[in-house]
Amino acid sequence: MDEHKENIHAEDVNVKMSNTREEVGVSTEAKPCSRICPAGEPDPQGSPPQSNSDFSHPVYKEIALANGHINRMSKDELRIKLAELHLDTRGVKDVMKKRLKSHYKKQKLMQSAAEGGPTDTYYHYICVVDFEATCEEDNPSDFHHEIIEFPMVLINTHTLEIVDSFQEYVKPELNPQLSDFCVKLTGITQKMVDEADPFPDVLQRVVAWLQERELGTKYKYAILTDGAWDMSKFLNIQCRLSRIRYPQFAKKWINIRKSYGNFYKVPRTQTKLSTMLEKLGLKYEGRPHSGLDDSRNIARIALRMLQDGCQLRVNERIHAGQLLSVPSSAPVEGAPPPHNPRSRD
């Protein structure tokens, strides 16, 4: 429900955006599926290596020279070179240019890593979340959005694959009757939410799902969302309504819109889900505004960005009800081990 989230973002009086400037850097309905594929397990011994911030290393001069050559290539030349390297040839010129630059950068850094130089990786896993919430066609200013679908899609950053997913519907308690607009938008029926459990129970099963996959203990992971609303608005409000504390593991996340805009150097107007897919040469798969299908398509964008060499890292957080930016200079930390929600009482 990305377009609808855009409409309600300005109405949020519970969460305030800080004045911190955004960093611009280089930076099917189903229950839980299979366990993480053992064949694709990254090495859990220690955290993934961090990027070296010392750009005086000779490898960066070689990368800069290659970038200059790529900048002078035409669209046809870019497509031919990508095809020669057996890389994806889809997307607009800027996307293909970034893909080719990232390929050479990755090759140089792999060679450098073998020689004890800089490397270019972060988390073992990325967990994509895209809530669906109660809504009206014209939301009144005092309308409280309640989460009615809790999906998660797990990306293995080592194999660059979607390896697992979770989905449950949630029973709203403040406004238990869904509007016709909400049903039509999300495809979630009144029967689905009537038969679902309240949010605290669903959140407990989310925590158990994350724990079973040893995220935050054996493996380093991060939450990823399409915009700031899911965590700073929907989850924040839902926890207040459910009288439980905001979960620690969701206090920092990757806002893929920021990452996409910064990486491909495009304005915010070109970072909607449908636009990002189109610019990458991809088509939406599934039903728009289904939380699970939206999450899968967001995951496809994240995978393409990783393939193109983007360093997806946490760039937003919530503190004392405020939405804050995480600067690119901040240490890269994975989300903490998930724990069951605590009561506010």
Confidence class for position 10, pLDDT limits 50, 70, 90: very low
Buried b (16+ CB within 10 A) or exposed e, 133-165: bbbeeebeeeeebbbbbbbbbbbbbbeeebbbb
Q: What is the CATH number of the domain that holds 100?
A: 1.10.720.30
Same domain membership, residue 223 and residue 103: no
Residue 118 domain-assigned?
Answer: no
Reported as type and span, the H/E element at residue 153 is strand 147-156
Q: What is the mean pLDDT of residues 57-63?
A: 75
Nearest to 152 by CA among 130, 125, 123, 124: 130
Same domain membership, residue 295 and residue 147: yes
Report the alpha-carbon distance of residue 336 to residue 345 in Å, rounded. Answer: 23
Of the residues 4, 124, 132, 316, only one is catalytic, namely 132
Buried b (16+ CB within 10 A) or exposed e, 296-319: bbbbbbbbbbbbbbbbbbbbbbbe
Asked if 130 and 291 touch (Cβ cutoff 8 Å), the reply is yes
Same domain membership, residue 256 and residue 183: yes
Residue 317 domain-assigned?
Answer: yes
Question: Could you tell me the residue range of the domain that residue 208 belongs to?
Answer: 125-325
Model pLDDT, residue 31 = 38
- List the single range of 34-38, 105-109, 136-140, 243-247 with lowest mean pLDDT: 34-38
C-alpha to C-alpha distances, 84 to 88, 139, 306, nearest whole angstrom:
10, 52, 20
Same domain membership, residue 135 and residue 77: no
Q: What is the CATH number of the domain that holds 132?
A: 3.30.420.10
Residue of higher predicted confidence among 141 and 230: 230
pLDDT(16) > 70: no
Q: What is the mean pLDDT of residues 245-261?
A: 97
Same domain membership, residue 199 and residue 64: no
pLDDT(92) > 70: yes
pLDDT in tens, 112-141: 555 554 444 589 999 999 999 999 998 888
Confidence class for position 315, pLDDT limits 50, 70, 90: very high
Of the residues 4, 168, 289, 316, only one is catalytic, namely 289
Same domain membership, residue 138 and residue 104: no
SS3 119: strand
Asked if 97 and 67 touch (Cβ cutoff 8 Å), the reply is no
Q: State how beta strands 125-129 and 147-156 pair.
A: antiparallel
Same domain membership, residue 241 and residue 172: yes
Residue 334 domain-assigned?
Answer: no
Q: What is the mean pLDDT of residues 197-223?
A: 97
Q: What is the mean pLDDT of residues 148-152?
A: 98
SS3 64: helix
Confidence class for position 62, pLDDT limits 50, 70, 90: confident
End-to-end CA distance of the chain: 32
Confidence class for position 147, pLDDT limits 50, 70, 90: very high
Q: What is the mean pLDDT of residues 76-89?
A: 90
Residue 318 domain-assigned?
Answer: yes
Residue 217 domain-assigned?
Answer: yes
Same domain membership, residue 160 and residue 131: yes
Residue of higher predicted confidence among 88 and 28: 88
Same domain membership, residue 256 and residue 208: yes
Same domain membership, residue 284 and residue 243: yes
Same domain membership, residue 312 and residue 203: yes
Q: What is the mean pLDDT of residues 220-229?
A: 97
Phi, psi at 282, each rounded to 5°: -110, 160
Model pLDDT, residue 105 = 80
Asked if 133 and 145 touch (Cβ cutoff 8 Å), the reply is yes
Helices 93-114 + 256-264 axis angle, to 10 = 90
Asked if 90 and 281 touch (Cβ cutoff 8 Å), the reply is yes
Residue 91 domain-assigned?
Answer: yes
Nearest to 89 by CA among 311, 307, 312, 310: 307
Residue 1 domain-assigned?
Answer: no
Number of domains in the chain: 2
Report the alpha-carbon distance of residue 162 to residue 125 in Å, rounded. Answer: 10
Same domain membership, residue 189 and residue 73: no
pLDDT in tens, 169-194: 999 999 999 999 999 999 999 999 99
Residue 220 domain-assigned?
Answer: yes
C-alpha to C-alpha distances, 343 to 114, 200, 204, 243, 273, nearest whole angstrom:
49, 9, 12, 6, 35
Phi, psi at 16, each rounded to 5°: -110, 140
Q: What is the mean pLDDT of residues 293-310?
A: 94
Active site residue 289: yes
Model pLDDT, residue 140 = 85
